[in-house]
Structure 1
Amino acid sequence: MLTQLALTGLIVALLPLSVVWGSKDPDKYRKLAWVTVFLTFDLIMFGAFTRLTDSGLGCPDWPGCYGHANPLQAHEHISAAQAAMPGGPVSVAKAWIEMVHRYFAMAVGVLIISMIIIAVRGWLKSRRQDQRFSPRLPALLLAFVCLQGAFGAWTVTLKLQPVIVTIHLLLGMGLLGLLTWQAARQSIHPPVSAAATSLRLPAAICLAVLATQLALGGWVSTNYAALACMDFPLCHGSAMPDMDFANGFSLWRQLGKTAGGEYLPFPALTAIHWTHRCFAGVVLLAVGWTAHKALRVPGLQRTGRWLLAALALQLLTGISTVFLEWPLALAVMHNGGAALLLLLLVMLNFKAGIPAQAASQTASATHRVGQPAA
């Protein structure tokens, strides 16, 4: 089974790899980095689809499906489980959704391993002088994707325990952020004004604020609290509805249960939803202000415009999800919007540091020139 799974992941990875090596871009390393970012973004979107269609236990074991490499081989087991519990977590469609998600995750792993191979070859060829081929970050990416896989396994074996699923989501977002930084390091960027250094601290704060909101959003999703408040901007017609924070934010518990094993009360779901909704205002203000400042800095205007557009999209999909009672397409788009905001903020952080990097390199070069010959 493991051999079949590995071959499946390799086959899925062949398509993006063929795009890289078949492209006219002479810098295949940079192309591979950005293709991996694109595939990881798609993986996050499909992971949201998997979670929102309640397909996380479509195959209740890991890494295969009832001990097989694909749902076709496990059809008898899946049919038996579906017959025993119609409308339950196991069905043929859900099994395929879950396994396709795993195949895509394995493909991302293959792309990262390819990145490491190219990086090591370039690093050795340059006699460890070309920093863009430094294998440290690709090695960290591989460790990160392995950790992500471990939490994916625990997501299944611990039956969608909310804290595990939320960490799995955050690790996926973290992987996207690291991959974006790696791709940005390989790219040629237009000149950035020295004024960009004034945005380094605000951009870093925005990244931390967004990470907090991602955790809160993941907690909403994994606890199925998206419809705990069906009106907007109020919740149950009140600015301060009845809420149970103690049970809502008790981390180590089963899905739908309190830490004591009782059914989770509805006010706990309200507390989860309301906290995420209120903190969205913090994100809107912080990221909106920083993006507005970026519009005034040469070299950062494009990133600022994209950030404002992504914020508007996220606000629209979030409000529409409430009013339209959580349609699947909008819910998936809302997850994708969060990933897009993360990607753009990572790019803003990278670009805001370009003038400082250039100044450091100039100072280093000047120092070397000024040194007496040996």
Structure 2
Amino acid sequence: MQVSTLVQLGVTGLLAACLPLSMVWMSADANKYRKLVWVAAFLCFDLIVFGGFTRLTDSGLGCPDWPGCYGLANPFLAHAQISAAEAAMPTGPVTVFKAWIEMIHRYIAMGIGVLILTLMIKSWLQWRRSQNRAFAPLMPTLLFGWVCLQGAFGAWTVTLKLQPIIVTTHLLLGLGLLALLVWLGGQEDNILKPPQPDPRPAGLRQVRRLALASAVVLALQLFLGGWVSTNYATLACDHFPTCNGHWVPPMDFEHGFTLWRELGKTAAGHYLPFSALTAIHWVHRNFAAIVVVVLAATIWRAWPHAALRPVAKWLAAALALQALTGVATVYLSFPLAIAVLHNAGAALLVLLVTMLNYKAKYQLAAVHVPSRQAAAPASLQP
């Protein structure tokens, strides 16, 4: 790829970041750093949803090289190559429409990379000046390393031709980036306005444990959901609650859950049997019941606590929506809008479970600080 193309792509990434950076700079919020964190989190959520749209429209190879499109900076410049590929294979992965979807996805990702780089630079500069814990650079530096790793998996997604484990890891890293940004935003919120001690602190420790358990089971379900999507196993079960008319249909777990293999192939290079796709779908569907139980228990325990109740309400609504869209995807034979909404629901669950975790953590800290302060004078007595 020519240097001029790389420069054009870099300029495109800067332009994609200009609008959100301008909004942060011109906002009335005095804490521009905190504002930038939450803007980056919002755009990361949007990128995950658009990434789902890219995957579900089979646009992941709309430009079959990386980081440009046929070695050029945008589909306008590569129009001749794209048209030739489309003419040679009209039902193939390369079309003008798919090329634009894929490149817009990359442009947004580059813009978020610029925002996170800005966060890291600002945090280091402010930290060296003031040592203010609001600008502690550890998390922004971790975010920058994370987004670089995410970019590498984005490249491998294309160069390894949508290999399922690579695409699934790319999805999970995107959701992890969202969780880290939300956690950093929560830290900034609590530094700006420290939480008041909960008047009913007795159950907070249990809420914290359940919130952590919710994060673990949700992460497992996200892997399973990504594995369904990247193996195109969404319609491997065409009934609900049974699968193809059976509670336990014929399944091939060995080939279905062999991680390192090509798309649609076994590790030996043979075509993946349908029973393997059935196993992938069936496991994701049944593990969803465990996720619902654990998250419902977490919501129930968090509800009595005033500081946690708003997040618990949103989490309950998101969980119900996710279950509804999951069932609708099967009943309606995979309509694109419902499938994208299901993908967005997964990102929303990540956001809300992360928020619940940090709020429970800081509520516990707010309870412990006054108790330690109250105990300190007594410890100094002879």
TM-score by length of 1: 0.95
Query: 1:130-164: per-residue Cα shift (whole Å, max 9, x none)?
Result: 21210000000000000000000000000000000
Q: Which residue of 1 aligns with 2:22?
A: 18
1:357 deviates by: 2.5
Matching of residue 132 in structure 1 with residue 134 in structure 2:
yes
For residues 131 and 369 of structure 1, the distance between their equivalents in structure 2, rounded to whole angstroms, comes to 27
Secondary structure in structure 2 of the residue aligned to 1:353? helix
Runs of 4+ residues deviating >6 angstroms: 363-372
**Partners of 1:55 and 1:216 in 2: CA distance:** 21
Q: Do the aligned residues in 2 keep the contact of 1:58 with 1:97 (CA within 8 Å)?
A: yes
The answer to whether residue 318 in structure 2 is matched with residue 310 in structure 1 is yes
Letter in 2 for 1:78: I
Give the drift of 1:25: 1.0
Matches within 5 A, 1:38-117: 38-117=42-121
User: 1:246 pairs with 239, 250, 254, which one?
Assistant: 254
**Structure-1 separation of matches of 2:355 and 2:379:** 36
Q: How many residues align?
A: 370
Q: Deviations over 1:173-210 (max 9, x none)?
A: 10000010011111136535234232111110110000
Give the 3 Å change call, closer, same or farther, for CA 166–369 of structure 1 in structure 2.
Answer: same
Residue 191 of structure 1 corresponds to 196
Taking structure 2 as the reference length, what is the TM-score of the superposition? 0.93
1:86 Cα deviation after fit = 0.9
Distance in 1 separating the partners of 2:134 and 2:300: 31
Percentage of matched positions with identical amino acids: 58
Q: Distance in 1 between matches of 2:294 and 2:92?
A: 42
SS at match of 1:67: coil
- Mapped partners of 2:70, 2:154: distance in 1: 16
Give runs of aligned pairs for residues 1-374 of structure 1, distance below 5 A: 1-126=5-130, 128=131, 130-187=132-189, 188=193, 190-193=195-198, 194=201, 195-358=203-366
* Structure 1: unaligned runs, 5 residues or longer: none
Query: Could you list the per-position Cα deviations for residues 256-293 of structure 1 after superposition, in whole angstroms to 9, with x for gaps in the alignment?
Result: 01111111111110000000000000000000110111
After superposition, what is the alpha-carbon deviation per residue over 1:20-44, rounded to whole angstroms, capped at 9, x for unaligned? 1111111111111111000000000
Please, what is the CA RMSD of the aligned residues?
1.8
Shift in CA distance, 296/363, structure 1 to aligned 2, threshold 3 Å:
closer
Taking structure 1 as reference, are residues 369 and 3 closer, same or farther at Cα in structure 2, changes over 3 Å only? farther
Q: Distance in 2 between matches of 1:98 and 1:362?
A: 52
Find the residue that maps to 2:304 and give its secondary structure.
Answer: coil
Measured after TM superposition, the shift of residue 122 of structure 1 is 2.1
Look up the equivalent residue of 2:17 and give its one-letter code: A
SS of 1:238's equivalent in the other structure is coil
Residues 192 and 84 of structure 1: CA distance in aligned 2, closer, same or farther (over 3 Å): farther
CA contact under 8 A between 2:195 and 2:366: conserved in structure 1?
Answer: no
Structure 1 stretch 214-223 or stretch 16-25: which is displaced more? 16-25
| CA distance in 1 between partners of 2:53 and 2:67 (Å) | 19
